[in-house]
Amino acid sequence: MKDACKWVKQYGPLIGRLLLSNLFIVAGFKKIAGFAGTAGYMAAKMPSLDPNLIKIMLVLTIAIELGGGLMILVGWQARWAATIIFLWMIPVTYLFHPYWGLPPDQMQMQFIQFQKNLAIMGALLFIVAQGTGPYSLGKDNC
C-alpha cells in the first residue's frame, strides 16, 4: 500500500494534468479546424453580438483552450493557466449549457454538460491550490 501511495503522489499529478489538459487541447484544435461552424454556433447562442466580435471571442477561446491546455500539460505557469481557464468557464458554462427551462429532451444533456463543467472547474481549482507536482517545467512557488 505504501508503494502505491508513493507512486500516486509521484505520477498522479502528471497523469491528472495529461487527462485534464487533453480536453482543452483537443477542443482548441477542433475549433481551429471548424472555425466557421463554431463561430456560427456561438452566434446562435449570442445573437445580439456583432459577428466580428464573435470571431474575436472565438480566437480568444482557442488561445485559452489550446494555450492554457498546453501550459497545464507541461506544468509551466499552470496555476495561472488553470485560473484563467476557470474564470473563462464561468460564463461559458452559463451561456452554453443553460439546462433550466429547456424541454425535457434537451434538459438532461445540458444538465450533464453543466455538471461536467463544474467538475472540470474543480480540477482546475485543485491545480491552482496544489500546483503541478513533480515532472513539470515550472516550480510552484505559492
pLDDT-derived band at 141 (thresholds 50, 70, 90) equals low
pLDDT digits over 50-90, tens only?
Answer: 999 999 999 999 999 999 999 999 999 999 999 999 999 99
Whether 42 is in a domain gets the answer yes
The pLDDT value recorded for residue 118 is 98
Whether 58 is in a domain gets the answer yes
pLDDT-derived band at 4 (thresholds 50, 70, 90) equals confident
The three state secondary structure string of the chain is CHHHHHHHHHHHHHHHHHHHHHHHHHHHHHHHHCHHHHHHHHHHHCCCCCHHHHHHHHHHHHHHHHHHHHHHHHCCCHHHHHHHHHHHHHHHHHHHCCCCCCCHHHHHHHHHHHHHHHHHHHHHHHHHHHCCCCCCCCCCCC
Q: Identify the domain containing residue 111 by its residue range.
A: 10-130
Whether 59 is in a domain gets the answer yes
Q: What is the rounded (10 degree) CA torsion for 66, 116, 51, 31?
A: 40
Half-sphere exposure of 126 (CA within 13 A, CB side): 12
Whether 139 is in a domain gets the answer no
Whether 115 is in a domain gets the answer yes
- What's the structural domain count of the chain? 1
Amino acid at 73: L
Whether 77 is in a domain gets the answer yes
Answer for the pair 134, 14: CB distance below 8 angstroms, yes or no: yes
Whether 141 is in a domain gets the answer no
The pLDDT value recorded for residue 1 is 73
pLDDT digits over 84-107, tens only?
Answer: 999 999 999 999 999 998 999 999
Whether 3 is in a domain gets the answer no
